[in-house]
Structure 1
Amino acid sequence: MKLNKIACLLLVVASCLSCPNSLNSAERIYDLARMGLKPDSWKNASPILQRVVNRIKAECSPEDSIVLRFAKGKYFFHEAGAATRTYYISNHDQTNPKKVGIELEGFRHFTLEGNGAELIFHGRMLPLALLHSAHCTLRNFSIDFANPHITQIRVTENNAGQGITFMPAPWVKWRVSKDSLFEAYGEGWRTRPTSGIAFEEEKRHIVYNTSDLYMQTKGVTATPAGTLTAPHWKDSRLIPGTVVAMRTWHRPAPGIFLHRNLNTVLENIKVHYAEGMGLLAQLCENITLDAFGVCLKGADDPRYFTTQADATHFSGCKGKIISCNGLYEGMMDDAINVHGTYLKVVNRIDDHTLVGRYMHDQSWGFEWGEPGDSIQFIRSATMDIIGKTNRITGISPTDRQETAGVREFRITFRDPIDPQICEQKGYGIENLTWTPEVEFKGNIIRNNRARGALFSTPQRVIVENNLFDHTSGTAILLCGDCNGWYETGACRNVVIRKNRFVNALTSQFQFTNAIISIYPEIPDLEGQRQYFHGGKEGSILIEENEFDTFDAPILYAKSVDGLTFRHNILKKNNEYKPFHWNRSRFLLEKTNRVKIME
């Protein structure tokens, strides 16, 4: 999967050449080993990194080229002495303040050189944040937590009458609470997991036809041998040897947080665990991931899971997102999700002014748009575009003085707003300016929960030369939803080419109607007057892919104008028994200009 290495490196070089430093600039190298932080020392790295970053800001000018250098080895970060920051992060729990291990803000021409450093975090932390910066590179390090908040256990006995007996993994700190519930804990945190994902012991695939497990540990009892029996947890699918990642639904922080950056490169970084996304980028322009991984620490890693949610997630970005030569495995959600956010119209003040509100509980509190941005309106029930594109002339919070923490915006528009748009019926506002192109090439996605890759952007998307191996749900989803997740928007130009799909759809999750699922959320499809995705002949092209599957559904498409499926190889295997409700190779609902040529 290294076919795109040269392309990625060329892009990195081009990015550097496009923003040369001033003739008066200097290269400044800060070597952490000479500044009080040697590898493998067991020191708390959090306060030292704060001091070093503050020193860099005091000593350097904006034109300087800065390198912050780790030596190879292990570094340990604790909440004590860490930076304390309030961040509102898309698609995460808006719990503040957050403890930040490495906080980088306001830099230009900055490189964090890891040299193979292993950054290990304790407690409940946001490992690394890069904000309001330009032309920055992060490379050659890994992120992990000493004691993950996901609890791994192994089923040792499954008795229909007595329940499930299990053994926690050696690193798990656990106890039985006073009210007889299984409880995991760590430095400053505790969890009582009620759900989980089951993995096959040998192959590490998610157990066939299980999806999200829901477990009841009330009345759990422990034995001197360290096993526990949960008499009310009964599930015949979990044979002895099954490994379960027991979890909650909390997402306090990603592994890496990018906000308001320009031209960012992340190279050869591995995130082994985070209690949210592996990487979350919002309101950024031009991001390149080269050999970025959300992955295990090799074939001998005793863990089966990585992140609590998506591996990578891009919200309200623009320019170009490139992800190449990556490895994404064992995460509790998708490998990549690219989208914007619909605001719901909650008040029409006059013909040029609306109040729009963030609706989802995990996506609010940050900027949504700025004067000059192009927007369009959409009717939530049918996902029809209403009126013509418009432009923002003014935008400000209505529910507080500052943008941080905002839920509602007062927005004025250049042109009169269509008369039907009001708060009485469901309408959304979509920002068309903050939408990126995407290249997703040469990646491996395997053994994860839910789905592989999600795209919701009108700009060009290329998905090429990837391996989707046992993604458990849909491998590729083109979505759009102004009713639940409120994630924009329609795809107008998508190429899915030369990928290999191996046994997707081993479980049922949301939007998983086929291996490739084009599934906008449209409550009133009969009332829809337009098509949501596409818009011209061949808008979505699926060609020269190989589908190796045990079940029937290959392609599902709803509300698409301009879809071509051609020159693909379809193979049938017997690894699992077919079970999906969709028995059609190609299932189409309200489509136009569709060409299917196997």
Structure 2
Amino acid sequence: MLKNIYLLFISLIICTGCSTKQPEYTFGVKPDTKEDASGAAVKLIGQLQARKDTVHITVKIPKGRYDFYPDSAFTREYYISNHDQDNPKKVGFALENLQNVTIDGQGSEFVFHGRMIPFAILKGQNITLKNFSVDFELPALRQLNILEVDPGKDELLAKIYPSGNYRIDTEKLVLLGEGYEVTPQGSMAFRPDKRLTYIRRDVNFNPLSVTEASPDILRIKGWEQIKLTTPGERYVLRSWKRPTPGVFISECTNTVLENVKVHYAEGMGLLAQMSENITLDRFSVCLKGEDDSRFFTTQADATHFSACKGVIVSKNGLYEGMADDAINVHGTYLRVTKRLNDTTLQARYMHPQAWGFKWGETGDSVQFVESEKMERVGSHFNTITSIKAVDKPTEFGAKEFEITFAATLPQEISETGKFGIENLTWTPEVVFSDNIIRNNRARGALFSTPKRVICENNLFDHTHGTAILLCGDCNGWYETGACKEVIIRNNRFINALTATYQFTNAVISIYPEIPNLKDQQQFFHSGIVIENNTFETFDRPLVYAKSTDGLVFRNNTVSYNTEFEPFHWNKHPFFFERVSNVLIENNRFENGWDAEKDIRTEHSAEDAVTVK
């Protein structure tokens, strides 16, 4: 009898479980119809926000092409680090205040129209995006395919791509987007093989006249590039605007992007700020394949992480054709604007593209730096006990903050000098591995964090500037901070540095911006190991380091080729300014090397560099 009651009880539990059905979340628009999918995204996200349970769910979107238009999309006021702070912004998927959700595109193409942020994830927990691509029907960037060049007449003929969507006002070219216009001010020069053109960086687009020879064929006169150009080259026309990233992540925890491709964005491919633990696996900012007619992808960086913490993992990605770096990891210095008392300061966001978002919280650990010498002020860290906006009701949209600290402030910190505040709590570890970075403007990978950085098994293939940069600056970009442990290993560098940009003194450039280096007493960067890498180069500079204590260059292989003529002003494989504890050992140089001639040191002790 007891056995029968027990079996009945178990069967009731099983049946009850069978009758509890998870709600289905469907994407209410058919693919491949060009029907506006923005409304379906709004409805889907509303359903996700209304659900009561917290079980992890996966929303599967049937494979196909979906078009998103701004009129029926989300309208949001967002303040996005390192972007233009123009509002409001139109958003395709505004994934706000959600947890335990996966959006699986199953190989879909998401195509956006006008100026939109395709995906925004705000205040989310355990959000995953996977298996889709992002593109725009009509990019703001355009390219000119050079057809004919006549230096004698100081003119050329070029075909514009994508076709149409332009006008000529008083012999000036205006690019027409969907709901906006762009007057190009600059351009990027590409060879026919999609590599950026040797030693031509940030070319102005300022011809005397542009006229239409026939539809889509432009006659360009009086442009400084005419005498340098050959048929088949492409010039990607651009402005300096950064209105919208492809993916925006803010104040999130445990975010994953898996097998997501961004083919174009008018800002960065992905921008994350004030978020913890982000994993990119097969996330790419890339062309649509070898036969893609485009030579360009994003207007700025492929990926950018501002004031994040936890661990950032970026692996198995392809980054190409960007107008800036593949990855940039940093925090943001606030400039001290007023000392209110011995424990309270006012401080301000300084860069015009970095303000309006949360900078810190009660309990965060901070340190202070003197901006001209870029060295820490005071022997101890401090802790925030309160922080509030001065110019806004909350930190949302604010530029200036009043911050109170637990310990007495160093006496010298006030508005009469130049001092920055660095938030040490919001600094991440980074693993950047097994990626391909190629054919992009500026630099490859930038790391500015005191936590551990591992950069390994990557291919840096024809980055136009420095392949890897360790920076830090409290005077211009206001991007923190000092690196303490960086491991650069098992990477392959192929003909990096075919043009010079800011901070590009060698293939690997350790270049904090320090206006007053001669009076600096402390070192900025430390603990850097460069090992087991392969350098294939046409020129001389390999490693430049400034204000660095502890640098190892070992077990690397260096070979030389003749793809380009050497041109760089830095003629030394190793150039060090104010360094200590540098070790160079057990490296193989194809043509041999001479330590006395190939190492240049300035502002350093005689025994600062050891060669074995």
Q: The residue matched to 2:99 in structure 1 has which SS?
A: coil
Q: Which one-letter code corresponds to 2:214 in the other structure?
A: P
1:430 aligns with 2:410: no
Match of 2:574 among 586, 590, 595: 586
Q: The residue matched to 2:42 in structure 1 has which SS?
A: helix
Match of 2:544 in 1: 556
Contact 2:158/2:219 (8 A) holds in 1: no
1:496 aligns with 2:488: yes
- Return the alpha-carbon distance in structure 1 between the equivalents of residues 245 and 151 of structure 2: 39
- Return the alpha-carbon distance in structure 1 between the equivalents of residues 332 and 159 of structure 2: 39
The 5 Å alignment of 1:183-262 reads 183-201=174-192, 203-224=193-214, 226-235=216-225, 236-262=227-253
Contact 2:90/2:116 (8 A) holds in 1: yes
Contact 1:176/1:221 (8 A) holds in 2: no
- Return the alpha-carbon distance in structure 2 between the equivalents of residues 102 and 175 of structure 1: 29
Q: Deviations over 1:9-48 (max 9, x none)?
A: xxxxxxxxxxxxxxx997544222xx3x111011101112
1:400 aligns with 2:389: no
Q: Which one-letter code corresponds to 1:30 in the other structure?
A: Y
1:271 aligns with 2:259: no
Unaligned runs of 5+ in 1: 1-23
Contact 2:168/2:211 (8 A) holds in 1: no
Match of 2:375 among 372, 377, 384: 384
Q: Give the Å deviation of 1:157.
A: 2.4
Q: Deviations over 1:522-549 (max 9, x none)?
A: 0000010110001xxxx10000000000
| Larger relative contact order (Cα-Cα within 8 Å, sequence gap ≥ 6) | 1
Match of 2:26 in 1: 31
Match of 1:4 in 2: none
TM value normalised by structure 2: 0.91
- Return the alpha-carbon distance in structure 2 between the equivalents of residues 113 and 240 of structure 1: 43
Q: Which one-letter code corresponds to 2:546 in the other structure?
A: K
The 5 Å alignment of 1:285-296 reads 285-296=276-287
- Return the alpha-carbon distance in structure 2 between the equivalents of residues 495 and 368 of structure 1: 28
- Return the alpha-carbon distance in structure 2 between the equivalents of residues 322 and 495 of structure 1: 15
Quick check: 399-408 or 457-466, which moved more? 399-408
- Return the alpha-carbon distance in structure 2 between the equivalents of residues 153 and 283 of structure 1: 39
Match of 2:80 in 1: 89
Contact 1:210/1:237 (8 A) holds in 2: no
1:523 aligns with 2:515: yes
Q: The residue matched to 2:47 in structure 1 has which SS?
A: helix
Q: Deviations over 1:164-208 (max 9, x none)?
A: 42433442334343322011112101111110101111x211000
Match of 2:6 in 1: none
Q: Which one-letter code corresponds to 1:207 in the other structure?
A: T
Q: Give the Å deviation of 1:481.
A: 0.3
Q: Which one-letter code corresponds to 1:401 in the other structure?
A: P
Q: Give the Å deviation of 1:554.
A: 0.2
- Return the alpha-carbon distance in structure 2 between the equivalents of residues 215 and 221 of structure 1: 14
1:448 aligns with 2:440: yes
- Return the alpha-carbon distance in structure 1 between the equivalents of residues 53 and 373 of structure 2: 49
Write out the 4+ residue segments of structure 1 that deviate beyond 4 Å after TM superposition. 24-28
TM value normalised by structure 1: 0.93
Match of 1:14 in 2: none
Match of 1:506 among 490, 498, 501: 498
Match of 2:410 in 1: 418
Contact 2:79/2:357 (8 A) holds in 1: yes
Q: Give the Å deviation of 1:219.
A: 2.2
Q: Give the Å deviation of 1:274.
A: 0.2
Match of 1:51 in 2: 43
Match of 1:3 in 2: none
C-alpha spacing 1:198/1:164, structure 2 compared with 1 (3 Å): farther
Contact 1:352/1:415 (8 A) holds in 2: yes
The number of residue pairs the alignment matches comes to 566
- Return the alpha-carbon distance in structure 2 between the equivalents of residues 25 and 460 of structure 1: 46
Quick check: 161-170 or 378-387, which moved more? 161-170
Q: Which one-letter code corresponds to 2:561 in the other structure?
A: N
Match of 1:595 in 2: 583
Q: Which one-letter code corresponds to 1:213 in the other structure?
A: V
Q: Give the Å deviation of 1:317.
A: 0.2
Match of 1:153 among 129, 135, 144: 144
Q: Which one-letter code corresponds to 2:204 in the other structure?
A: Y
Q: The residue matched to 1:55 in structure 2 has which SS?
A: helix
Match of 2:474 among 472, 482, 488: 482
Contact 1:28/1:66 (8 A) holds in 2: no
Quote the RMSD (CA, aligned, Å).
1.3
Contact 2:144/2:161 (8 A) holds in 1: no
Contact 1:151/1:168 (8 A) holds in 2: no
- Return the alpha-carbon distance in structure 1 between the equivalents of residues 64 and 528 of structure 2: 46
Q: Which one-letter code corresponds to 1:566 in the other structure?
A: R
